[in-house]
Amino acid sequence: MADTTKDGNDDLSRTGTIQKASGGDARTPAAAWRVTIYHLAILLGSVITTFVLEWKFGIDSKERTKQVYALLFGGLGGTFAASRYVVLSVRHNTYDPKRVLVDQLAYPFGVNQFNVGGAFPLSPSVANPPPITPPSATQGTLIAFDPHLKLPRILEWNVALEQSLGIQQKLTASYVGSSGRRLIQSGFLFSPTPNLAAALLVGNEATSDYNALQLQFQRRLSQGLQALLSYTWSHSIDDASAGSTGSFSNTFVSGIDPRLNRGPSDFDIRHSFSVGLTYDAPSPKFARFFNAVLRNWSTDNFLTIRSASPVNAYDSILGLFHQGLTQIRPDVLPGQPLYMSGHFPGGKAFNPLAFVPPPTDPNTGEPLRQGDLGRNALRGFGALEWDFAVHRDFPVHEAVKLQFRAEMFNVLNHPNFGPPVGDISQPNFGLSTQMLAQSLGGANVGGGGFSPLYQIGGPRSVQFGLKVNF
Query: What is the pLDDT at residue 263?
Result: 94
Q: Averaged in consecutive runs of 10 residues, what is the pLDDT profile of the chain (470 residues)?
A: 33 27 35 42 43 35 30 29 33 30 51 71 79 75 85 94 94 97 90 84 91 97 93 96 82 80 94 96 77 83 96 91 88 95 94 95 89 94 96 87 92 94 95 90 65 83 91
Angstrom distance (rounded) from CA 67 to CA 131: 28
Q: What is the pLDDT of residue 254?
A: 75
Q: What is residue 454's three-state secondary structure?
A: helix
pLDDT score recorded for residue 379 = 96
pTM for this entry: 0.72
Residue 342: per-residue pLDDT: 92
Compute the distance between CA of residue 437 and CA of residue 458 in angstroms, rounded to an integer: 5
User: How many helices, marked H, and strands, marked E, lie in the chain?
Assistant: 6, 25
Contact indicator for 1, 17 with CB cutoff of 8 Å: yes
Other Cβ atoms within 10 Å of 122 Cβ, number: 11
State the pLDDT at residue 201: 85
Which whole-number Å values give the CA distances from 450 to 86, 303, 386, 439, in the listed order?
37, 21, 20, 10
Q: What type of residue sits at position 349?
A: A
CA distances (Å), origin 39, targets 158, 161, 215, 268: 11, 17, 22, 27
- pLDDT the model gives residue 320: 84
Q: What is the pLDDT of residue 454?
A: 77
Are the C-beta atoms of residues 89 and 197 closer than 8 Å to each other?
Answer: no
Q: Where are the alpha helices (DSSP H) in 265-367?
A: 288-294
Q: Which amino acid, 104?
A: Q
pLDDT at 444: 64
